[in-house]
Amino acid sequence: MKLVGIIGASGYTGYELIKILLKHKEVELKVLNSQSYAGQTVKSLYLDFNNDGLKFTNYSIDEINNMQLDCIFLALPHTKATEIVPKLKCKKIIDLSADYRFKKVEKYEEVYKVKHLDKEGNKKAVYGLPELSEKQKIKIKKAKLVANPGCYATSCILAALPIQKLAKYIVFDCKSGWSGAGKESAYAKNPDVIKDNLIAYNLTKHRHKYEIGQFIKKKISFTPHVIDTFQGMMCTAHILLKKSIEKEKIIELYKKQYENQPFIKIIEEKIPDIKAVQKTNYCLIGGFEIDENNQLVIVAVIDNLIKGASGQAVQNMNLMFGFKEEEGLV
């Protein structure tokens, strides 16, 4: 049994981590740190939680280090992980923020407008998207520090990865549930902002665009939108192809790319929708239509809190410890 903990346990992703880890057969949850809610029960914050007694904690870093945990999940705001990771004495660390997602520190500093405080740690961090390749899975298995991908980045990369070599240009049009903005967002504090509404933001320079660009090596455009639902995400990828290719061959490319990936499903008979993946760690990819301009349209759907955050973090943990990849997630 591996001992695990969460720092930043009271946010939406922290809460999803709690629920997943409590049903995981191979781990014991020892730390649920939250500065704001320490000593309060999880149920007092999340009324749907089915454990009346479990409480948030606020252990110091020294206390956590003395517990000799096997794995720590960091579900903190961006820029906070680089302050904490160098102080943690833990076998495995999974960071759900953006702090270690960029291979080049200079790019992170440019995109996030802050100084990176752990350049040495960044050199060792592994990007935690297992479906990138079998080589990436091996890197994750060996890693001490994994950078969990962003939710938009996850859906866009998975949507375009198999076809990018045949593409001239890719436009990602994405819609997300408002939970992705976090508990302190206007959507959480005032539901009327998003009720019966759809909001576009960061039209050309969202941070995830540059994260996507590390793996999709084509000219890309990316625009995110918030929709009137709590969780779920759809990426519609408009891919201008270099040359004509039959739909069946494109589907074959996707099936081959993801044939050994338990959480990717290729959908041929219908267009995937958000309801099909809510509260799961699956990514459904479909569409596969080509118009008269030789533009391919691919639709990928995920749950932004699960495959886009907490579920993927546990998937990475499973790989890091040699557990079954689906443990706790199906």
Q: Which amino acid is at 131?
A: E
CB atoms within 10 A of CB 236: 18
Per annotation, catalytic residue among 71, 151, 174, 283: 151
**DSSP letters for 155-170:** HHHHHHGGGGGGEEEE
End-to-end CA distance of the chain: 19
Count of all residues that appear for the chain in the document? 330
How is 295-306 classified by DSSP, letter by letter?
EEEEEEEE-TTI
Reported for 117-121, long-range contacts at CB under 8 A and 24+ positions apart, including other chains, are 117/82, 117/83, 117/86, 118/82, 118/85, 118/86, 120/86, 121/82, 121/85, 121/86, 121/145
- Whether 90 is a known active-site residue: answer no
Take residue 76 and report the two structure tokens written for it: 């903190």
Between the CA of residue 314 and those of 2, 10, 214, 255, what are the distances in Å?
13, 17, 23, 24
- Annotate 161-180 with b (16+ C-beta within 10 A) or e (fewer): bbbbebbeebbbbbbbbbbb
Give the position of tokens 């020892």.
30
> What is the set of active-site residues?
151
